[in-house]
Structure 1
Amino acid sequence: MVNVIGLDSDKVQQLCDAANQDVDEDNKGNYAVSGGVMGVEAVEAKAKSFKARMIVRLVVAGAFHTSFMEPAVSRLESALAAIEIRQPRIPVISNIDAQSHADPATIKKILARQVTSPVQWETTVKTLLAKGLKKSYELKPGKVQINHCLLNYRTRAI
């Protein structure tokens, strides 16, 4: 994965489309930029011509939230089938569709879909703001810095 910094979402999509023309990987779609190694390298190579301020390669174990993760879906579905999920007592907004869901079966389906679906972070935050969110905290493991640019973070898949 790489973070593309300094471009709006339309330019990031144009950058991904241009990078996709240079690689044979069929993985269209979303917004950090995630995909195969050749696709990520193509985005890095083309980003300056799109006037991106900088590109930051993310140290991750895979092309999360893309079709490259499809083999993990069935294993997660099996694990989810073996556990009980109860109806939430407070609304929990899904980052797949930026909506709250209360049905445990639906929640399990959404959790499995997260593996290959783009994260709708901006839409999720806008939904939270529309529902009255005034203050939030983002907790991350280890020494990862907190993301303060909530509305400027998007994910695209290549």
Structure 2
Amino acid sequence: MQEASDAAQSAMVSVIGLDAEKVQMLCDAANEEVNDENRVQIANYLCTGNYAVSGGIKGVEVVEAKAKSFKARMTVRLAVAGAFHTRFMEPAVSRLEAALAATEIRTPRIPVISNVDAQPHSDPATIKKILSRQVTSPVQWETTVKTLLGKGLKNSYELGPGKVIAGILKRIDKTASIENVSA
């Protein structure tokens, strides 16, 4: 993924304060002003009002410039190496597929909920395919969390110094329980 990032001038930006439909309209408006190499798309559906957009640098710059006219509260450029979860990462897929082919994945005791489709998966071959797709597919975080809550998730833990996941979880479901565990 680092090589794919280095091969293209790309970036990511958080768009705060709009619903998914408005962020898509913002991306469409930006894409009208840039060439194919700079197109943008929603790369991460975190929660209502918080989406990450990935794409070419010029496209991201247009998103940042137009966001206020779409009534976004703010944009925040993300400190990442490239346009993750988009076609910009396509060069990394074949190498990941090769690494996964050489890796044994056993049937999990608990199904894996994929961020590609927010569905549970237990078949190792399917898990490998979906992991490869994750590189270029938007992250369906909000739907994934809703799937987990719908399947009876009662307690969650956020590992690390921040409270980003806790904040997102509470925006998805105010009654959800999450505990922060830091080192």
TM-score by length of 1: 0.87
> Within 5 A, what are the aligned runs for 1:57-76?
57-76=77-96
2:168 equivalent to 1:149: yes
Q: Is the 8 A contact 2:115 2:140 kept in 1?
A: yes
Change in CA separation of 1:84 and 1:77 when aligned onto 2, cut-off 3 Å: same
Give the CA deviation at 1:133: 1.3
Moved over 3 A (4+): 26-31, 150-153
Q: Is the 8 A contact 2:40 2:53 kept in 1?
A: no
Change in CA separation of 1:110 and 1:65 when aligned onto 2, cut-off 3 Å: same
2 CA distance for matches of 1:72 and 1:52? 32
| Unaligned residue ranges in structure 2 (runs of 5+) | 1-11, 45-51, 173-183
- Paired residues in the alignment total 151
2 CA distance for matches of 1:97 and 1:109? 12
Structure 1 window deviating more from structure 2 (25-34 vs 2-11): it is: 25-34
Structure 1 window deviating more from structure 2 (25-34 vs 3-12): it is: 25-34
Q: Secondary structure at the match of 1:95?
A: coil
Aligned equivalent of 1:101: 121
| Unaligned residue ranges in structure 1 (runs of 5+) | 154-158
Identical-residue share of aligned pairs (%): 74
Residues 69-106 of structure 1, C-alpha deviations (whole Å, 9 max, x = no match): 00000000001111100000112200001111111111
Higher strand share: 2
Higher relative contact order (CA 8 A, sep 6+): 1
Give the CA deviation at 1:146: 2.4
Aligned equivalent of 2:21: 10
Q: Is the 8 A contact 2:16 2:75 kept in 1?
A: yes
Change in CA separation of 1:123 and 1:20 when aligned onto 2, cut-off 3 Å: same
Q: Is the 8 A contact 1:25 1:39 kept in 2?
A: no
